[in-house]
Amino acid sequence: MISAGDFRNGVTVEIDGQVLQIIEFQHVKPGKGAAFVRTKLKNVISGGVVEKTFRPTEKFPSARVDRIDMQYLYNDGNYNFMNVETYDQIALPEDLVGDAMKFVKENDICKVCSYKGNVFSVEPPMFVELEVTDTEPGFKGDTATGATKPAIVETGAQVNVPLFVNIGDKIQIDTRTSEYLKRL
């Protein structure tokens, strides 16, 4: 059990039968009245975000979310993953995986998240290195503004890159924000 006064970012709790992760929290002590905790909570299964307030003494059971390293194998209509320790394989439907796999190549390691044995999401690696397969050539001298251009990487995803990036270049991408980080 965890009390609302002990909430921290990233903690996962079970409230009213829902598994919620704390995105933001704030302890508020108004001039009049009792203190309270204002939170922003994300439902880990549906992805919805709600704001709630709690008394600091309220207690909730902490929810255990398992994050298992799995290797992405291939896509045959379902995304197929293999546990790197036990070699067990699972197939996840595209609607469950969503947009998480747009920067992931075959054989990359992802974290498969589950609650009580039910998989609810896949977390790609934070940073990936991909090759640019298609982009327009940049124009010399047009770099003072920090201009960018669209580029297609080897997984088929589109990312904005600086003008000096060319076809065949390897780039590093932050998968959380879909932003270009650097050329390798």
* Ordered mean pLDDT values, 10 residues apiece, the chain (184 residues): 82 84 86 87 82 88 86 88 89 81 86 82 86 80 70 88 86 86 85
Q: The domain containing residue 78 runs over which residues?
A: 65-123
132 and 111 in a common domain: no
Same domain as 75, residue 115: yes
| Whether residue 109 sits in one domain with residue 72 | yes
| CATH code of residue 73 | 2.40.50.140
Same structural domain for residues 88 and 39?
A: no
Pairing between β-strand 118-123 and β-strand 127-135 as defined by DSSP bridges:
unpaired
The domain that holds 37 is classified in CATH as 2.30.30.30
Same domain for 100 and 145, yes or no, is: no
The reply to whether 26 and 70 lie within a common domain is no
Could you tell me the pTM of the whole model?
A: 0.69
